Structure 1
């Protein structure tokens, strides 16, 4: 293990499954990695901090957010509460957006998220013929300015209006976004004139530049929306397993059970991950139904049972797509338990959906283990179950072993 000891965290409560719940000590290197976790570490000469029995967990990971849209609800309301209504509202508003406005709102959102314990975010930055690269460039600037506080991945989100329906013009915009520093390829193929051609183009660009893919796909309750299946098939044929995410995939819940089972098994075999977004799906989906309104989520339990990696995330915060939100991923974990009907080990599964699973999908060296980056949250809770169920009024947050929120007592 490289790096010299730089910080010793004392009196930490460690979650069951790591090494019991007895008070323990965590040694962190000057490179921000965990060097050792033990009951007692002889390092009297190392600067130390007393956690006073706080529960220590990995930092939270929000693998699907739209920092460029957050806190725009007042300026861009969504009167009909639909997905198309939200898209049109933000599209009209975005025409006048400046880099300064984008950065200010995104920074304010990021600050909230860090204070709540988020140590990594994957943000989808609109890429279209009106905004062009303004959002991508602003998010890349924010990534650089915030690198000592949080890990930020920027998705070049080629929206349905990226090139007025022309995949080749969208391809050119994506190439420019990659040159500007985008980390991931995104898009909304369902809303393109030719979804198949759009998916092919997005995967072509990703393969060319060896970048991961994270698509908004089948964000509808129309059972005829089957583009997730095409994405899975393309992933398998191209050998891109482990590098492709389908976000939302709401229509999977409207399939007949046997057809849904086949889709899920194919996704598991192809190595395609899924990110469910309960806030947006609960708010936007099912508005055309008058009775027995569906939740709008994908089949979370069946996906998990089949071994498909499933993360949950914030999506949007106080904008036309989601009018509420605090930046607290524990809130998203609770909403996931309720809306997805998680039951067995519900808190543990939901917690992994905001920590271990998105870390693996995003390729982050994360976790409460030796060798991982010391991206940690210390909370006054007895266990992960209590943390997920009720949160914690006080949180201490470390990014790469450096305090970024809360206060640490010296010892």
Structure 2
């Protein structure tokens, strides 16, 4: 097996990525001009004049992988903070016990380490949540913004201010102010956990209002429990449709939706489609955290992806936590998440791939795909089919972002 190409194309140049295998089976040359795909054509007999050629050597070309939901401020804390109960509240307690060790520099360093691993696995963009708490202040936000700057040569990072609860009532005033401080400091997205608030409905409204006020997208940790009466997702979609709001909104987790009867599931799915609310499923973390109190027919804790998609909802999937108290596993590899969706959510390999590529891109408002006019970002792997690429998770991955090959030199942040 020959080594992966390491030549980096000059930015703004015309590059032909030759001999790439599309998921449909066609062998093609992909041309980029600047950072856009400008041609997907049958393989040429020889070099194309006026361009740099990089030989993909028959690799399978997949759309760029996108991580729509991460917690890079917590990455690699599994050895430092142990979750003794294995559930959500156990993870939260474990994190609080080591909160004083999470300095801005520590957060930056672990986030950069995680971003490098994501990039090696084909990820070109990641949305990471940043704990925004009275105890920790803006350390997570600032540490992740530092990582965003340090990693800008190889991966695009969005920082979502994950504002702690309660956000409602008089007790929430300081936290609402902290959310505004996070935005003023550079946070890209507003986030929160309404299902943990004493008044979840009002918490959804507070978070919507904060996002509208700031002119930022909203990404909720929604309904991360197995209670069929938990309806953050419904309240979010209902508020957007009833008030006619223009707001890019995503709901992550949405575990409780899997516990509802199908009629109610479809009602909420239809409302989300109308509202334009996207949903991000997080199978690895929720399989770990949810259902520990059940001793038979254990719920899987994954949002009903196929049902949501059938209603026209854009659904993405993410890795969520990476080797921390919320999930001691994880390889920063979306193909690992896609494999879980095939076996635990009964998705086809092609559908699973969509959730970790074009679906994740849609959540982040990015253009992703292999058609002319899309950004020239993709990953080429040594596989002959989408199924094989997900099953094998080939380590030899050629990552192209904006028409530029991302090599280890670009990933060097020192």
The answer to whether the superposition gives a TM-score over 0.5 is yes
SS of equivalent residue, structure 2 residue 40: strand
Q: Confirm or deny that 1:6 pairs with 2:14.
A: yes
What is residue 26 of structure 1 aligned with on the other side?
A: 30
Distance 1:235 1:167 in 2: 23
Structure 1 segments of 4+ aligned residues over 4 angstroms from their partners: 161-165
1:134 aligns with one of 131, 139, 144: 139
Whether 2:329 is the aligned partner of 1:324: answer yes
- Whole-Å Cα distance in 1 between the matches of residues 12 and 67 of structure 2? 30
2:277 matched residue in structure 1: 272
- The CA deviation string for residues 122-145 of structure 1, in whole angstroms up to 9 with x for no partner, is 100110101111111111121122
Aligned twin of 2:354 = 352
Cα distance in 1 between the residues matched to 2:337 and 2:285? 11
SS of residue in 2 equivalent to 1:368: coil
1:44 matched residue in structure 2: 49
| 2:101 match | 96
TM-aligned CA distance change 1:84 to 1:311, over 3 Å:
same
State the SS of the aligned residue for 2:356: coil
| Cα distance change on mapping 1:238 and 1:151 into 2, 3 Å | farther
* TM superposition score normalised by structure 1: 0.92
Residue 261 of structure 2 corresponds to: 256
Alignment partner of 1:302 out of 289, 300, 307: 307
Map residues 164-313 of structure 1 onto 2, 5 A cutoff. Answer: 166-240=171-245, 243-313=248-318
Find out whether 1:71 has 2:76 as its counterpart.
yes
User: CA 1:406/1:44 → structure 2, altered by over 3 Å: closer, same or farther?
Assistant: farther
Instruction: Identify which range, 85-94 or 62-71, moves more after superposition.
Output: 85-94
Whole-angstrom distance in 1 between the partners of 2:168 and 2:129:
17
Residues 15 and 57 in structure 1, CA contact (< 8 A), matched pair in contact too:
yes
Rounded to whole Å, the distance in 2 between the matches of 1:47 and 1:268 is: 43
CA distance in 1, matches of 2:94, 2:12: 52
Shift of 1:96: 2.5
Q: Deviations over 1:128-183 (max 9, x none)?
A: 10111111111112112211201111101112267998332222111111111111
- Of residues 385-394 and 331-340 in structure 1, the stretch that sits farther from structure 2 once superposed is 385-394
- Cα deviation, residue 390, structure 1: 2.2
Task: Tell me if the contact between 1:165 and 1:193 (Cα under 8 Å) persists in the aligned partners.
Answer: no
Q: Does residue 43 of structure 2 align to residue 35 of structure 1? A: no
Contact 1:128 1:162 in 2 (8 A): no
Structure 2 distance, partners of 1:4, 1:283, is 44
Match of 1:372 among 371, 374, 377: 374
8 Å contact from structure 1 (residues 242, 273) kept in 2:
no
| Change in CA separation of 1:165 and 1:39 when aligned onto 2, cut-off 3 Å | farther
Q: Structure 1 residue 194: deviation in Å?
A: 2.0
Describe the shift of the 1:165–1:112 C-alpha distance in structure 2 as closer, same or farther (beyond 3 A). farther
In the alignment, the residues of structure 1 paired with residue 49 and residue 395 of structure 2 have an alpha-carbon distance, to the nearest angstrom, of: 31
Distance (whole Å) between structure 2 residues aligned to residue 142 and residue 78 of structure 1: 26
Give the RMSD, CA atoms, in angstroms.
Answer: 2.0
Distance 1:289 1:308, change over 3 A: same
SS at match of 1:147: coil
1:59 shift after superposition: 1.3
Partner SS state of residue 389, structure 1: helix
Deviation string 1:293-345 (CA, Å, 9 cap, x unpaired) is 11111222211111111111000011110110001100000101111122xxx
Distance in 1, matches of 2:397 and 2:170, equals 46
Cα distance between partner residues in 1 of 2:56 and 2:169: 54
Aligned residues: 397
Deviations 1:24-48 (A, max 9, x none): 212222x322222212567323222
Structure 1 portions without partners, runs of 5+: none
Confirm or deny: 8 A CA contact 1:156 1:174 kept in the other structure: yes
